[in-house]
Amino acid sequence: MPSVTVDKQDLWDRLGRSYTTEEFDQLCFDFGIELDEDTTNEVNERVKAGLPSERPQLKIDIPANRYDLLCIEGIARGLRVFLNLDKAPVYRLIPPVGGEANMVTLTMTPDVARIRPYFTGVVLRNVKFTPSSYASFIDLQDKLHHNICRRRILVSMGTHDLDTLKPPFTYEALPPQKIEFIPLNKTEKYNAEQLMTLYESDKHLSKYLHIIRDSPVYPVIYDSNRTVASMPPIINSEHSKITLNTRNIFIDVTATDETKLLIVVNILSAMFAEYSEEPFTMEPIIVVSPDGTRKISPDVSPRLVTAHAGYINACTGLDLPSADIAQLLDRMSLSATASPTDPDAISVSIPCTRPDILHECDIMEDAAIAYGFNKLPKTFPAASTVAQPLAISKLCDLVRREWAQAGWVEVLPLILCSHEENFEWLNRKDDGTQVVRLANPKTLEFQVVRTSLLPGLLKTIRENRNHALPMRIFETADVVFKDKSVERQARNERHAAAVWCNKTAGFEMVHGILDRIMQMLEVPRISSADKTASKGYYIAPLEDATYFPGRAATIFYRSPISTSTTSSVLEKVTGNAQWRDAAIGELGVLHPTVLQNFEINFPCSALEFDLTPFEK
């Protein structure tokens, strides 16, 4: 969850009183947030030591979907309403003098559909910033960029001193060589192509360049004098830079996701509309779409929904009338009134700052928070049930117990690995039909979801190569494969795998633990040529680049034809129609190149097979 740092005294001033750390911690818990740290003691120690220090700060953890609490303004506003010190504010759009004819207008050109197709904006008039509120304004933008905006990929915003620009504006998409301006905090003019090179070494902006760098056109916002205001989502212009003396602010928001676009503009404008000359008011703008459609933006009108006292009482175990529930919702900034005609109905007005309210269950949760989770009645469920593990989990526990009792050590590697570890290092080829890739991995170590347990086991041996020999480790866990036949386009398989590492290969060791598990599962060992056995397992020679030539085998499991097998490898169907043989895994001595890839200096034998055919 996001963490917000606020000035302690500033928050006390906004709340109208001081709190001890314990009191404020309890208040945060009651409100549904969490006090993470109070730096007062650290500051006092630095002061006593004669060291420079900042004012005491409070670090508060915020739920990830409460974008309205990502700044001190939102936290203080929400707590004051929760404590019945204020009523929830009503956000309003106030057109300029002269009405729609004098409203700021922005026209979108058709080419923006190729890069960032959505735009909205708003104007805050006669704003009065202090150093702390100005810093909070900048910090909220950064918090939104890293949270709902997904590091500016989905949404980005820019703020400008409107008095330095001349409306109407245009939002265009042009080749980078044709976009020239002085970027924020610079003194020289650059074209957009040069900016990409300039910011490659910038610690802050370099992480956003990939969003538009490979596009033939870049988005840009011009005023009527063809002065650049912004090149979203990278940088604003130095010309329209806001300062403490800025009084009229133009906020531009561009996006690839229209829903999040509307959320961001409402949150940013509503949080800082309290600094306008008339608090909680903002001036709309007119956005002209490429097809000529004119739209007044933003829409800050509340959403009206109907909640039901019966549903809220049933979920919380309470027995409150609708009027009392409405009062609880008022404390959570949800203006609510009980219906005069229906005793079960509650009309709830959801402000533009609460996009987290998606369903009646969200309203119920807010009512429970306002009532107090610790005050909710504790009752036994009406139905008595006994929990039990899944069949596949019971099977895994059996395997883990047997292998552990045999002296093998269980390990728990990560389920993500690099593409090389999953394929090239095992001498395997990616045919593009099996592995699930991460769209934008943070590091090269976490590119794909593993399709085999072997990479994790071998990396464990590599990191413990100074450990005494022999090393015998195992894991029972999920691997993931693409599967277009299911809705989620992927499926999990529960595998068991083990690796033996010693001065000798130890093929017989992994063969032995396979036999032990089959014995515990009451699966007899049979011959592949035996046409009379309806159930059992056997191994057959395997040529696979992962293993040493002539030192590998495929594990086949014979089961009645009615038994469901979900192995990722192809089945080998026998001539008898009453049963079938399915290849469920492999075992063998690992190839020297595989060991070299994982920096292992001793021979290893490995075993891996699918547990799902044995699920009962």
Q: Look-up: residue for tokens 């409070």?
A: 58
User: Could you tell me where the DSSP H helices lie in 184-244?
Assistant: 192-198
> Could you give the 3-state DSSP secondary structure of residue 229?
strand
The tokens describing 110, both together, are: 């058709």
User: What average pLDDT is seen over the chain?
Assistant: 92
Lowest mean pLDDT among 213-217, 367-371, 449-453, 484-488: 484-488
**Confidence check: pLDDT of 371 > 80:** yes
- Starting from the edge strand earliest in sequence, which strands make up the sheet with 57-61, in order? 3-7, 57-61, 34-38
Any residues with CB less than 8 A from the CB of 485 and at least 6 apart, and which?
none
At residue 569 the predicted structure's pLDDT band, cuts being 50, 70 and 90, is: very low
At residue 562, the pLDDT reads 55
The tokens describing 150, both together, are: 């997904």
The tokens describing 330, both together, are: 């008022």
62: alpha, beta or left, given left = phi > 0 and alpha = psi -120 to 50? beta
User: Which residue did the predictor score with more confidence, 76 or 465?
Assistant: 76
| pLDDT tens for each residue of 273-321 | 999 989 999 999 999 999 999 999 999 999 999 999 999 999 999 999 9
Specify the DSSP element, H or E, that contains 59: strand 57-61
| Angle 599-479-610 from CA coordinates, rounded to 5° | 100
Are the C-beta atoms of 596 and 564 separated by less than 8 Å? no
Average pLDDT over residues 490-506: 94
Residue type, 17: R
Average pLDDT over residues 542-559: 94
> Hey, how many other C-beta atoms are within 10 angstroms of the C-beta on 610?
22
Angstrom distances, CA of residue 302 to CA of 331, 364, 472: 17, 18, 63
**Confidence check: pLDDT of 579 > 80:** no
Whole-prediction pTM: 0.71
Residue type, 52: P
Residues paired with 58 in a beta bridge: 6, 38
Residues in the chain: 616
Average pLDDT over residues 131-160: 93
Q: Is the dihedral of CA 515, 518, 522, 527 positive or negative?
A: negative
> Could you give the 3-state DSSP secondary structure of residue 11?
helix
Helix orientation angle between 131-146 and 258-272, rounded to the nearest 10 degrees: 170
Residue type, 101: A
Average pLDDT over residues 145-165: 94
Of 616, 479, 614, residue with least CA distance to 559: 614
At residue 348, the pLDDT reads 96
At residue 53, the pLDDT reads 86
**Confidence check: pLDDT of 566 > 60:** no
At residue 616 the predicted structure's pLDDT band, cuts being 50, 70 and 90, is: confident
| pLDDT tens for each residue of 71-107 | 999 999 999 999 999 999 999 999 998 888 899 999 9
The tokens describing 186, both together, are: 């610079």
> Hey, how many other C-beta atoms are within 10 angstroms of the C-beta on 602?
17
Helix orientation angle between 507-520 and 391-405, rounded to the nearest 10 degrees: 130
Q: What percent of the chain has pLDDT over 90?
A: 86
